[in-house]
A and B are shown apart, each in its own frame.
Chain A
Amino acid sequence: MPLWDKDMNESEKSLAITAEALFLFNLLLAPGLGFIALLMVYALKKSQANNLAANHLSQTVGVSLIGGVLIVCVIALIFLLGGFDSGYTWMVVVLYFTFIHSSLILMGVIGLVKALNGEHFRYPLIGKPFRA
């Protein structure tokens, strides 16, 4: 493989890894801040991203947005319908949040592993509309 191809592949791979790492950072350590950082990387690097990096950038940004809606908006709706003063509402919220949040983390882990190995990844179900 020519040297410039190898360099390009490595930069593609590190961009893909950055995208997946920020996706997880947003979920695990700094909700919101992680997403802003991911958006900045997306805006700055999108034009330079080829196949691999474009796939991971597009997937992580798209899935973060859908994940945000699934977590914030749906939970707000549950509280709106059930009210804060009901044990049943809290039960549904805790179970729902844990299910969605853990699923996103586990999918993010697989995404990161794929990026580390220079492979494409499409998030199951909610990653369908974004670049595969």
Chain B
Amino acid sequence: MQYQSQSVAKPYFIAAIGLFIGQILFGLVMGLQYVMGDFLFPEIPFNVARMVHTNLLIVWLLFGFMGSAYFLVPEESERELFSPKLALLLFWIFLIAGALTILGYLLVPYATLADLTGNELLPTMGREFLEQPTITKIGIVIVALGFLFNIGMTILGGRKTVVNLVLLTGLLGLAVFFLFSFYNPVNVVDDKFYWWWVVHLWVEGVWELILGAILAFVLIKVTGVDREVIEKWLYVIIAMSLITGIIGTGHHYYWIGTPEYWQWWGSIFSAMEPIPFFMMTIFAFNMVNRRRRDHPNKAAVLWALGTAVMAFLGAGVWGFMHTLAPVNYYTHGTQITAAHGHMAFYGAYVMIVLTMISYAMPIMRGQKAANMRAQVMEMWSFWLMTVSMVFITLFLTGAGVLQTYLQRYTDDPLPFMVVQDKIEIFYWLREIAGVVFIIGLVLYVISFFVKGNEAKVVADTA
């Protein structure tokens, strides 16, 4: 490790993986509730399981992004982190606040949680993905400001590279757009309009900058390709992300009461949203093909390539599938959306965090790369999780197409619950794929504890 303070990333990564396991467990519970409605009722009702599943995803990805930034920024800036102590303090604040929030969801009814946390003073609760009590949201803002201060001071006092400036821009955008979660107008059209400024402009806007910066950093390290080449690619990719993603927000405005012109703006710009992901795929494969060194960490290279491919498929292809207004008129809010959501989040954001962990963890444990046995197990986990996610997506897509046709397209539409019965088989298949996914995740965790000949890995590739 070049800088001692990079090690503050370690607790962030460990927390991220722990919460990831929790997220998947609640995903499996929900998957079962789709076909066995009373499963764990009334202890964990479906709406609570869903809230925990999605909130844990957001929280662990934020832990992953922060850990990645704490590892990446000192190395790029060529100096120690401004304040490692502040980074550790914020870690504990975020972890405790996050854990208390999840416990609150699980232990008391949501309305009681709102009362207990003083939601009536500044009402922000009750909206999908932004269910956190207002006090937790304030905590997130404090953590984000402290984090940005720490990262920003490190970059300002050190070397400025394209990678750390793009990362900083993405993280700044993440914090700024989260502020819209405090805006909760009475008018539901206004509410939804600005709600998307958090949700869409995060995942199809500023998070793509974070993704691009982390991917570029890992590729510089594992391929040895000139920084200038990688930085040029990064410029073009993030430019395309913002050009298409910002006005692409319009694909959420088709049917919420906004003017009709959004159907045009949304369709045109979001049809171009796969472009940056397509470029990212060419970028990753090109850099690996042009590599000037054989890095011993094969698993990290696999994760990096996997990120590019799966992000293109999940965010690009599956996004395009239902993004045009005339298609979305029929498919809106069906299982096709769930299919897209699963593969896009996994491909773009889960995998980039795992790429960074795969690259950074061995270094923080004093090795250049994990031993070969551990890497083989990690690669097994890569394939199990990735292939099962492909199947989850395919089963949900099958369910979604059938649902769209039977419930909305045919001359004789069937009621929602009748259709749900007809697509039950897909939910069972999705659940089986989910079980395979968690097996992959368990292998991933075990891979950190597999012993082998670490020295040989470095010697073989030296």
Contact = CB atoms under 8 A, between A and B. Distances in A.
To the question of whether A and B form a pair in one complex, the answer is: yes
A31 B223 CA distance: 35
A116 B288 CA distance: 13
A30 interface: no
B394 A95 contact: yes
At the interface, is chain B mostly helix, strand, loop or mixed?
Answer: helix
B395 to A, nearest CB: 10
B405 A98 contact: no
A102 to B, nearest CB: 5
Contacts of A90: 401-402, 405
Q: Give the residue among A91, A110, A116 with the most B Cβ atoms within 10 A.
A: A91
B398 interface: yes
B47 interface: no
Contacts of A101: 317
Interface in B289-338: 289-290, 309, 312-313, 317-318, 321
Interface residues of A, number: 21
B193 interface: no
Q: Give the residue among B278, B286, B394, B410 with the most A Cβ atoms within 10 A.
A: B286
Nearest to B399: A91
A114 B397 CA distance: 33
A87 B317 contact: no
A94 B396 CA distance: 12
At the interface, is chain A mostly helix, strand, loop or mixed?
Answer: helix
A132 interface: no
Interface in A67-119: 85, 87-88, 90-91, 94-95, 98, 101-102, 105-106, 109-110, 112-114, 116-117, 119
B282 A109 contact: yes
Contact of B285 (A28, A98, A110): A110
A95 B398 contact: yes
Contact of A98 (B289, B312, B397, B402): B397
A91 B290 contact: no
A89 to B, nearest CB: 9
A102 B289 contact: no
Contact of A113 (B282, B397, B409): B282
B288 to A, nearest CB: 9
A113 B285 contact: yes
B460 to A, nearest CB: 25
B445 interface: no
A114 B289 contact: yes
A116 B398 contact: no
B281 interface: yes
B246 interface: no
Contacts of B363: none
Given A87-B401, A109-B282, A117 B317 contact: no
B290 A117 contact: yes
A109 B398 contact: no
A106 B309 contact: yes
A74 B170 CA distance: 44
Interface string B400-414: 011001100110000
Contacts of B398: 91, 95
Contacts of B286: 113, 116-117
Given A114-B289, A116-B286, A88 B402 contact: yes
Interface string B42-61: 00000000000000000000
Contacts of B397: 94-95, 98
Given A87-B401, A90-B401, A106 B321 contact: no
Nearest to B318: A98
Given A98-B321, A102-B317, A117-B290, A109 B281 contact: yes
Given A106-B312, A113-B289, 4 more contacts: A98-B317, A102-B317, A106-B309, A113-B285
28 contacts: A87-B405, A87-B406, A87-B409, A87-B410, A88-B402, A90-B402, A90-B405, A91-B398, A91-B401, A91-B402, A94-B321, A95-B397, A95-B398, A98-B317, A98-B318, A98-B397, A101-B317, A102-B313, A102-B317, A105-B278, A106-B281, A106-B312, A109-B281, A109-B282, A109-B285, A110-B285, A113-B289, A116-B286
